[in-house]
Amino acid sequence: MQTRSPEIKKGSGEPNPKRRLRFGAREFVIALALFYGVFISFVAVYKHEIYASSRFDLGNMDQAVWNSSEGRILEATDERGELTSRLRNHADFLLLAYVPFYWVAASPHWLLVSQAVVVGLGAIPLFWLARRFLKREWPAALIAVAYLFNPGLQAANLFDYHAQMLAGTFLLFAFHYLLERRLWPFVIFAILASLTKEGIVLIMAMMGLYSLFIERRPRWGVPVFLAGVGYFLLTMLVIIPAFNVGAASGLVEERYAAFGGSIGGVIRTAITDPFFVAAYMLADGKWTYFFQIFGMTGMLGIFAPHLAVIPASEVAINLLSDRPQMTNTYYHYSAPILPFSYVAAAAGIATLIRTLTFPRVRRVLGRFSPGAYARSKIPIVFAFGILLFGIEMDFERGPLPVFHSPSNFRSVIDPAPTERVEALDEAVSLIPEEARVSATNNIGPHLAHRRRLYLFPTVSDAEYVILDETAPGYDTQIEPILNLQSTQEIRRSGEYEEIFAEEGVVVFRKTESGE
């Protein structure tokens, strides 16, 4: 005979057993997402404070936001030492969202912390989407958490700040609300994603095609597709050229020289010589980029091509470029792509399960055909395998202090000696707020709140030159030699006097005769 639990009267102070806190798959994902945000925020800020961040790009972004807070919209000093606008190369208007925070307290910490938190929160809509396709909570939760253990995602997250890093989370939210047909949440996240970088809207356009052809919803798909393509053309053909005196972006000319250095050249070549385009995208080992993207999920995304192709535009942008970092998932260029490999993996698992129920497949497999119970366990087995593989790869190739680390993130595990960090702090404190300054790459982010900040060995009209002779280079093998030669020239010129020298950190001040 069953007995009913006694009802607890409201206000009696007794806990209602029916309302006990439940820690399920959803709570698991939320907890890990928040932990990721807090932990990566700490590591990112720590990395900056020990002078392991970079003038390009943290200093560049910080300077653009600070200048915007002073009324000079997205202005920054470029690598050649010229005052310019970020809109010459990128339409990352999302940087303007930080201006009110800089009015409260101008600091790059806003950038670093928000980036970590937003990237971490991406696991939540990824969980919703994986659950939608798998129809199971815990497998979906494990796949969402595995995303947070992707070593490329973590490394890109810790490589300074890029608005593009936030796009993955915004795109996942937008896709979720598009499938749910919730207009205003979709519009909000679609706009946020579009403001991170000019090319991101093409992923939105691909979502429109998904809605049109897969969901059979032309009333949603057609406007989303047209809006995405329209905004991309607006930024590439109107906004960016307007800041380049009618010319194309310098970055486009540099990175897509094989196609004439223009968007039109890329499109024209794709139409007239598609075999050349395909060969170029797969040359010089670029084909391994697909394994970097989909390998972390066991290539299961290939069983859901309708989802795997959603970020195809961004994959093509990266493969057509001659910049090697763009086909390396450890950089921010792949951040909008990676989450969709996990969504596609979840859908791929569901496809495999459905395939195993087909009579022809069952006849082929014969006695090896899994029964209903075995098929029900496939999602959790695959999802757990994806998570374990992610943790293993994170341990072997990840950037976190608790794991092994690639060479470009050694600073997190083996930071500079305390004495040198203190010397760097003291040297930076000697630079007046409004002074024009030339600094080495690792010092630049700490001096970004000024109009003119040159990357040494560019000196130009700098009133101060501050150098870390133990870390002189910026992304090339030849720059340490140039920096050494430039330092010797400064000492011989008589235009600058040395006012500080400790632990390999040197500060020069312009003399009256040098002015």
Average pLDDT over residues 459-477: 79
Return the number of other C-beta atoms located less than 10 Å from residue 19's C-beta. 8
- The pLDDT, as a whole number, for residue 406 is 53
Helix (H, G, I), strand (E, B) or coil at 430: coil
Lowest model confidence (mean pLDDT) among 39-53, 224-238, 256-270, 350-364: 350-364
CA 262-329-205 angle, to 5 degrees, is 50
Quick: pLDDT tens for 248-293: 677 888 889 888 888 888 889 999 999 999 999 988 888 899 999 9
Partner residues linked to 75 by β-bridges: 85
What is the residue extent of each domain of the chain? 25-53+108-397, 418-510
CB distance 205 to 232 below 8 Å: yes
> Is the model's pLDDT at 167 over the cut of 60?
yes
CA distances for 497 relative to 275, 490, 512, angstroms: 59, 9, 10
Helix (H, G, I), strand (E, B) or coil at 215: coil
CA distance 363 to 382: 24
Average pLDDT over residues 132-146: 97
Cα-Cα end-to-end distance for the chain: 97
- The pLDDT, as a whole number, for residue 1 is 46
Beta-carbon contacts of residue 305 (< 8 Å; ≥ 6 apart): 344
Average pLDDT over residues 385-406: 84
> Is the model's pLDDT at 10 over the cut of 90?
no
| Kind and range of the H or E run holding 102 | helix 99-104
- The pLDDT, as a whole number, for residue 245 is 77
**Cα radius of gyration (the chain):** 26
Beta-carbon contacts of residue 311 (< 8 Å; ≥ 6 apart): 203, 206, 336, 337, 340
CA 354 to mean position of chain CA atoms = 34
- The pLDDT, as a whole number, for residue 376 is 85
CA 273 to mean position of chain CA atoms = 32
CB distance 120 to 148 below 8 Å: yes
CA distance 87 to 74: 7
Beta-carbon contacts of residue 291 (< 8 Å; ≥ 6 apart): 299
- When pLDDT is cut at 50, 70 and 90, the band that residue 351 belongs to is very high
- When pLDDT is cut at 50, 70 and 90, the band that residue 109 belongs to is very high
How is residue 346 annotated by DSSP? H
> Is the model's pLDDT at 445 over the cut of 70?
yes
- When pLDDT is cut at 50, 70 and 90, the band that residue 79 belongs to is confident
Q: Within a 13 Å sphere around the CA of 46, how many CA atoms are in the beta-carbon half?
A: 15
Lowest model confidence (mean pLDDT) among 204-218, 238-252, 290-304, 342-356: 238-252
- Backbone phi and psi for residue 219, each to the nearest 5 degrees, phi listed first: -65, -25
| Kind and range of the H or E run holding 38 | helix 25-49
Quick: pLDDT tens for 325-346: 999 999 999 999 999 999 999 9
> Is the model's pLDDT at 63 over the cut of 70?
yes
pTM of the predicted model over 0.75: yes
CA 17 to mean position of chain CA atoms = 44
Residue with tokens 């937003």: 118
Average pLDDT over residues 116-145: 97
Helix (H, G, I), strand (E, B) or coil at 73: coil
CA distances for 299 relative to 4, 295, 457, angstroms: 50, 5, 45
CA 346-348-349 angle, to 5 degrees, is 70
CA distance 438 to 458: 7
- When pLDDT is cut at 50, 70 and 90, the band that residue 494 belongs to is confident
> Is the model's pLDDT at 106 over the cut of 90?
yes
- The pLDDT, as a whole number, for residue 7 is 46
- The pLDDT, as a whole number, for residue 13 is 47
> Is the model's pLDDT at 3 over the cut of 80?
no
CA distance 379 to 143: 10
Average pLDDT over residues 202-213: 98
- When pLDDT is cut at 50, 70 and 90, the band that residue 8 belongs to is very low
Q: Check residues 364 and 71 and name the one with the higher pLDDT.
A: 71
- For the chain, give the number of residues: 515
Q: What percent of the chain has pLDDT over 90?
A: 70
- When pLDDT is cut at 50, 70 and 90, the band that residue 407 belongs to is low
The residue among 196, 199, 176 whose CA lies nearest residue 186 is 176
Helix (H, G, I), strand (E, B) or coil at 320: helix
CA distance 280 to 268: 15
- The pLDDT, as a whole number, for residue 493 is 85
Mean per-residue pLDDT of the chain: 89
Q: At what angle do helices 183-194 and 201-213 cross, to 10 degrees?
A: 150
Q: Please enumerate, as own/partner, the contacts of 127-130 that have beta carbons within 8 Å and a separation of 24 or more.
A: 127/25, 127/26, 127/29, 128/176, 129/172, 129/175, 129/176, 129/179, 129/343, 129/346, 130/342, 130/343, 130/346
CB distance 48 to 108 below 8 Å: yes
CB distance 29 to 123 below 8 Å: yes
